[in-house]
């Protein structure tokens, strides 16, 4: 499998702020993290809140700067300069946890999805309209022409997350980072969104980094998994191997926390089966 992303020795420390915090009081959010992502591969980064999952995503996108370490995309190191980052971000898009907070509430759906096309100078006005329309259809937002004219508050949570996915897809990226993309949705629509992402991933062969605290969804969606605790990788490997034969006590604790009350649940292995390598 061709490597699309490589992270080497990534480190990030944050300074605690406040009246009673001394200068020496620092938090090591990411500690010597190393991993790679293959073309068309889905890597889950899993751990509890505060484990450093979202910080890693921000470091990859260079929305915050690492203290040390290197990030390579298609063999080229990513630096914090405008031309380098613009090209990289055209190929690497983000789906955020809260679809409402990640959108400008004053913008219509068309403008939200069209914005990346304008930023990256893709197509003319007519071509962009067509691309947005087709992308909304890809994420099952119908009738697309009607949806384009709506504001985010006029949509359900599931529809808003579909808009967020459309915005990520519209530039035809090679990689998507999805940060807890279903955690704020109703249980009834989580499976639909995961199924949508899985279908799109297979059709377009997009590489995914899937950030989650929920091993049940990671089990369904991801080929490989990293278990993260306090900024450090506890163990990593094929999702099936890690979740059926965990080595670290923290991984075992996360697995024990999985609750599946319905034997016909979407995420149950008996129903879906394990995701295998592509």
pLDDT in tens, 32-45: 999 999 999 999 99
- Is 266 in contact with 220 (CB distance < 8 Å)? yes
Percent of the chain with pLDDT over 90: 72
- Is 146 in contact with 64 (CB distance < 8 Å)? no
Q: Could you report the per-residue pLDDT of 39-94, keeping only the tens digit for each?
A: 999 999 999 988 999 999 999 999 999 999 999 999 999 988 877 888 898 899 99
Scanning the structure block, which residue is given the tokens 């990859």?
A: 60
Q: What is the pLDDT of residue 258?
A: 72
List the chain domain ranges: 3-272
- Has residue 103 got a pLDDT over 80? yes
CA distance 29 to 11: 8
pLDDT grade, residue 249 (50/70/90)?
A: very high
CA distances from 105 to 110, 144, 153, 183, 198 (A): 12, 19, 7, 21, 28
Q: What are phi and psi of 122, to 5 degrees?
A: -100, 115
In terms of CATH, what superfamily is 3-272?
P-loop containing nucleotide triphosphate hydrolases (3.40.50.300)
- Has residue 220 got a pLDDT over 80? yes
- Has residue 269 got a pLDDT over 50? no
Q: What are phi and psi of 17, to 5 degrees?
A: -110, 150
- Is 247 in contact with 66 (CB distance < 8 Å)? no
Q: State the SS3 of 167-212.
A: HHHCCCCCEEEEECCCCCCCHHHHHHHHHHHHHHHHHHCCEEEEEE
How long is the chain?
278
Average pLDDT, the chain: 88
Classify residue 44 by its DSSP letter. Answer: E
Between 98 and 91, name the one with better pLDDT.
Answer: 91
Between 183 and 23, name the one with better pLDDT.
Answer: 183
CA distance 216 to 272: 11
Q: Could you report the per-residue pLDDT of 134-167, keeping only the tens digit for each?
A: 999 999 999 999 999 999 999 999 999 999 999 9
- Is 157 in contact with 186 (CB distance < 8 Å)? yes
Q: What are phi and psi of 111, to 5 degrees?
A: -65, -35
- Has residue 133 got a pLDDT over 80? yes
Q: What pTM was computed for the model?
A: 0.87
Q: What is the pLDDT of residue 160?
A: 94
pLDDT grade, residue 263 (50/70/90)?
A: very low
For the chain, the first-to-last Cα distance in angstroms comes to 9
CA distance 216 to 210: 12
């Amino acid at each position: 499998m061709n490597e699309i992303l490589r992270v080497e020795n990534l480190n990030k420390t944050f300074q605690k702020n406040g009246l009673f915090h001394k200068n020496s009081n620092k938090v090591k959010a990411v500690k010597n993290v190393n991993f790679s992502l293959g073309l068309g591969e889905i890597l889950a980064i899993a751990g509890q809140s505060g484990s450093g999952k979202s910080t890693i995503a921000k470091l990859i996108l260079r929305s915050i700067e690492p203290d040390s370490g290197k990030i390579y995309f298609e063999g080229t190191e990513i630096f914090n300069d405008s031309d380098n980052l613009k090209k990289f971000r055209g190929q690497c898009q983000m789906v955020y946890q809260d679809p409402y907070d990640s959108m400008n509430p004053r913008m219509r759906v068309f403008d939200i999805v069209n914005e990346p096309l304008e930023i990256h100078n893709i197509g003319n006005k007519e071509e962009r309209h067509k691309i947005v329309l087709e992308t909304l259809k890809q994420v099952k937002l119908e009738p697309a022409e009607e949806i384009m004219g709506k504001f985010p508050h006029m949509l359900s949570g599931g529809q808003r997350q579909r808009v967020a996915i459309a915005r990520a897809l519209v530039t035809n990226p090679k990689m998507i980072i999805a940060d807890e993309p279903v955690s704020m949705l109703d249980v009834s629509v989580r499976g639909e969104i995961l199924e949508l992402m899985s279908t799109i991933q297979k059709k377009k062969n997009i590489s995914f980094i899937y950030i989650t605290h929920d091993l049940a969804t990671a089990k369904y969606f991801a080929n490989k998994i990293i278990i993260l605790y306090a900024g450090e990788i506890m163990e990593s490997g094929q999702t099936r191997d890690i979740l059926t034969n965990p080595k670290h006590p923290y991984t075992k604790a996360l697995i024990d926390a999985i609750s599946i009350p319905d034997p016909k649940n979407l995420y149950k292995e008996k129903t879906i089966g394990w995701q295998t390598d592509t």
